[in-house]
Structure 1
Amino acid sequence: MTTRSTSRITFEHVNSPQFQGQSVRAVGKLVAMDDGHVQLVLAGSHEGGPVTTIVCPNGTHKYSPETMGKGHYEVIGQLQSGQIMEMTSVYMGDNFDMGMYADMVSLTHQFPDIF
């Protein structure tokens, strides 16, 4: 049995051909919700910066409207054309350090053999 790893990405990787069609993990702040989609400002983007759309085929019930503008979520899904097709998500709290996360992701891409 072969195990496939899930690449951690930041905003700068969303449109990279390297990750298109792959399973990815990304952390971002919830900024908008509508029917079947949420929008996150991903780590690696500036506060209030560009958003990434997360397509939620099973609904947005995992995202709480009360966390809008402050809650952070890790999304695991497939990256397709600059959007993430969600498989699952996890609430990470209101005080998640996105800068530290972006630094950690950068290190995992620079030194893949260590991580």
Structure 2
Amino acid sequence: MIKKMGYHWHLRQVMATRGMFQTSELVPLLADRGVHLSREQVYRLVTQPPQRMSMDTLAALCDILDCGVQELIEVSVVEQAVRKTATGSAVNAGTPPQIRRATIRWPDLT
């Protein structure tokens, strides 16, 4: 079994519990804490799980929302079954093998 790490981003829910429903409300609050993001960047931060985020931004969000990191990010572990092939490489057991079309070419006898 291989453990694959994942996470769920709860910024929108945490904002709603604090009475913040507009993503634009975060822009000046972040700027007060030295984090300067455009409205579009803040919108993406709220509506989509970030792939990368600075620690300054995370700390500012925790301060603004008066919450801990664990309220914003829920870490999850997904275990995947893996089987070994004859060559020794690992293959995901839940994935069917790739199908390739064969092309038969007859030798040119002329």
Query: TM-score, normalised on structure 1?
Result: 0.23
Q: Which has the higher strand share?
A: 1
Larger Rg belongs to:
2
Q: Which has the higher contact order (CA 8 A, sep 6+)?
A: 2
Q: Which has the higher helix share?
A: 2
